Amino acid sequence: MIILRNFFSLLFIFNCSLQAQDQPVIEHQDHAVLKSSEIIIRNFIIQGNKKTKPYIVGRELVFQKNAPYSISAILTGLQRSRQNLMNTALFVDASVCITNWYNDSMDILVDVKERWYYFPLPYLKPADRNWNVWLNDYGLNPNRVNYGLKFLGKNITGRNDKLNIWLINGYTQRATLKYYNPFSDNALRHGWGFDFSYSRNREMNHNTIDNKQVFYKDENKFIRKQVYVGGVYSYRKGSVARHYLKLGYQLESIADTVAALNSNYLGSSATRVSFPELRYTYQYFDVNYIPYPTKGKTIEIDFLRRGGINNKVNLSQLYIHFGKYFPLPNKFYFSSIAEGHIRVPFDQPYFNQYMLGYNDAYLRGLEYYVVDGVAGGFVRNTVGKQLFAYTLKTGLRSKTYAAVPFRFYLKAYGDLGYVYNKNNYKINMLNNKMLYTGGIGLDIISIYDVVLRIEYSFNQLNQNGLFVHKADTKN
């Protein structure tokens, strides 16, 4: 046992030194001796958590107290437990190690570095779909900027709960209140939340022509108003699979002028619709790092039902996402991501047809365009390599922020997409045809899940350009 402990200790020290750099599994981890020897996990020792409840940290560990594990399983479990902790978005860094090994039992030591959880931030952001559109199509027009105050509260009670309050002015006037508690029961599986938002605009996108958004503005009055109120129930048994059930009610109204410009915006020349909304979402995140995965897979299935009996709105939508990430030798990786939508019936009002070009659903190289429709999707393929990692010494007397890590990835990519539109394809050249783009880029990753993408892309229209994105992540 002493010889075995010394052998394992060498492997363990090597493992701890590599955790923060997200290295592959240790070479001798599956040695027969390590698989056949069993050790009992006595206790979890958790430190560094000033705000986060110990049981919130403990639920992400793959071990059970007083249970026997092979040494090979412990090595794998240490890596998986740290991965789970980092994917909670609660910590700047975390380490999971062994301690107090005596005879055939040991403790697990967890050391976390907590983030700042409260951000009362001034808000200043273009209203357009991305920075490239704001620069290229509108010349950095300051009238197309939203400003105000956002209070972002995470881990409010130490249970990984979130509270967001937005008070936004400028292009869009918006007030939002959101709260979500993922672990409201003793078993730490069931969660709940609520969501309220109100917004209004003097300018709005009322149509798409030549795959460009067409806007109408009235300086004297608000021409669009939206109200949404809803609640959510969630279930999460382990660490990788999550279920959400949302029920809400939405009201949308537009000015008579907008309905005259596009009678199909809300459908049948309507200027006001209200409807219930039911949504079920399944998420599966089995990856090494959710904001920038290079190993594992992701699955998301989303079913949305808008409208009800005798309601003007009638939409059933199915969305499927699948991502596969392959680590390769010499810090290379390959990823393939596929997403698909279908909306029935195919005759949908304009506000139910947004598809490519919005949020994170776009082809790299077609950022200046939108492709609306009722069925379609895309595939993104990327091969990348970590060029180097750099740690910036801040000079702060802080265990958490004395050093800020950066990772730099060089990549090449190719994307394919297709969107079917039953009605408007004659005035939008990118509908109902295969779309393809490609390019090269540099990704920069740092703390707080910051991912900055700098990309030089080409498309089938013989256009090319430099595009910058700050990736938004869901957790």
CA 367 distance to own-chain centroid: 19
CA angle 432, 435, 436 (to 5 degrees): 170
- Domains for the chain: give ranges and CATH numbers: 2-113 (3.10.20.310), 182-470 (2.40.160.50)
The amino acid occupying position 115 is R
Dist. CA 395–CA 372, nearest whole Å = 50
pLDDT digits (tens, 9 = 90+) for 358-414: 988 999 999 999 999 999 999 999 999 999 999 888 888 777 778 889 999 999 999
Q: What is the pLDDT of residue 463?
A: 95
Partners of 5 in beta bridges:
none
State yes or no: pLDDT of 426 exceeds 90: no
**Percentage of residues of the chain with pLDDT beyond 70:** 91
- Decide which of 252 and 472 is more confident: 252
Q: Where are the alpha helices (DSSP H) in 87-171?
A: 131-138
- Decide which of 209 and 170 is more confident: 209
Residue 470: how many CA atoms within 13 Å on its side-chain side? 7
pLDDT digits (tens, 9 = 90+) for 125-169: 787 777 788 777 777 887 788 888 888 889 999 999 999 999 998
The encoded tokens of residue 229 equal: 């109120």
Partners of 33 in beta bridges:
none
Output DSSP code: residue 358.
B
Output DSSP code: residue 72.
H
Q: Quick check: pTM over 0.75?
A: yes
Q: Are 81 and 98 in contact (CB under 8 A)?
A: no
Pick the closest to residue 233 from 247, 222, 220 (CA basis): 247
Output DSSP code: residue 207.
E
Q: Are 118 and 152 in contact (CB under 8 A)?
A: yes
Q: What is the pLDDT of residue 475?
A: 34
Q: Are 301 and 259 in contact (CB under 8 A)?
A: no
Dist. CA 239–CA 60, nearest whole Å = 6
